[in-house]
Amino acid sequence: MQTCLIVEDSALLRRIFSKMLRHLGFATLMAANVKEAQELCATALPDLALVDWNLPDKDGIDLVRFVRELLGGERPKVMMCTIENSPSHIEKALAAGADEYLMKPFSIDMLESKLAALGFMMETETGASSDIQEALGGATQTRVRRHLSRLAITAMAMGDREVRKFEPGSIFFRQGDAPDFAYVLMSGTVQISIDRAGMSMVLGEMKPFEMFGELTLLENTSRAVTATAIEACEVIRITMDHLQSELDKLSPFMRNWVDSHSEHLIFLLSKLANTDF
């Protein structure tokens, strides 16, 4: 199996990049800084290294140079992965020996495209994604990739500071609450329910890699449902300000598309809340 060394100081991104690469058929190793990565490479060189530019001890460029100076160091493919997008940064990375450059945030499709350009064969139909498919209830490959991309892009935008853990029985929000956060579920299960006349009806369950709570943030209306952790959960929390700032970057057409869909869904939920059951 092909191996990839992920060099990234964010524990959250290391975890998510590993899921993406395992889905594409790679075994993964992880390092939080250049020193850890150097120790791993000195023991055994990976087939691929995904290296963040800004690391806590040294720049990722220093690791690229280190790898290229090792015996057999010309063999691994090295991809810089960073928010730095100036031509000078790209030129510096390539001059140091990097093979490719990937801008954050990126989807699994963008990652796969870069890997294919480097000559790697993807194995997305193997058991590499079985844990993800199980979490999503035997989801199709398309759905797995969509959820992985959503998780990765959200994590790259929000960072470790917005990761929260909830114990079983914890309430994320109640029907009628003012909106505050949206969530991307990383682990566990969340039950979505709606109340009417003192009775509660379960609408469904959210599984890992799915987003919930975003509709009322889009419309800035009170919560239409209640979200409860039915087992221990880990989530990425998205603030209303951040969501709105990202929406402001959309073209007028896409912003109208998002707004119309959110209005339609909120209308359906309000109708459901006023229906006898």
**Domain identity same for 106 and 204:** no
Helix (H) or strand (E) holding 3: strand 2-7
CATH at residue 116? 3.40.50.2300
**Domain identity same for 111 and 204:** no
Note the pLDDT of residue 72. 94
Least confident among 113-117, 137-141, 236-240, 273-277: 273-277
d(CA 269, CA 87): 48
d(CA 22, CA 99): 21
Note the pLDDT of residue 247. 85
Report which residue type is found at 186.
Answer: M
In terms of average pLDDT, the best of 139-148, 217-226, 259-268 is 217-226
d(CA 114, CA 21): 12
**Domain identity same for 48 and 149:** yes
Q: Residues 124-133: what's their mean pLDDT?
A: 55
Domain end, chosen from 137, 156, 175, is at 156
For the sheet with 163-166, list strands across it.
163-166, 233-239, 181-187, 211-212
Query: Which DSSP category does 105 fall into?
Result: S
The token pair that represents 159 in the structure block: 């960072």
As for how many domains the chain has, the answer is: 2
**Domain identity same for 19 and 133:** yes
Query: Which DSSP category does 230 fall into?
Result: S
The closest alpha carbon to 216, from 275, 149, 165, 267, belongs to 267
Q: Which residues of 240-269 are buried (b: 16+ CB within 10 A; e: fewer)?
A: bebbeeeeeeeeeeeeeeeeeebeeebeeb
Say if residue 188's pLDDT is above 50.
yes
d(CA 153, CA 238): 12
d(CA 1, CA 28): 10
For residue 101, the tally of other CB atoms under 10 A from its CB is: 19
Q: What is the pLDDT of residues 50-70, one digit of tens each?
A: 999 999 999 899 999 999 999
**Domain identity same for 222 and 188:** yes
Note the pLDDT of residue 124. 58
Confidence of residue 275 (pLDDT cuts 50, 70, 90): low
Q: What is the pLDDT of residues 33-43, one digit of tens each?
A: 999 999 999 99
**Domain identity same for 27 and 78:** yes
**Domain identity same for 17 and 150:** yes
**Domain identity same for 192 and 223:** yes
Asked whether the beta carbons of 22 and 128 are under 8 A apart, the reply is: yes
CATH at residue 222? 2.60.120.10
**Domain identity same for 146 and 165:** no
Say if residue 28's pLDDT is above 50.
yes
Q: Range of 118's domain?
A: 2-122+129-156
Whole-prediction pTM: 0.84
**Domain identity same for 218 and 107:** no
Say if residue 10's pLDDT is above 70.
yes
The token pair that represents 186 in the structure block: 């990383």
The closest alpha carbon to 158, from 239, 245, 250, belongs to 239
Share of the chain above pLDDT 90, in %: 58
**Domain identity same for 142 and 247:** no
Note the pLDDT of residue 125. 47
**Domain identity same for 194 and 133:** no
Say if residue 134's pLDDT is above 80.
no
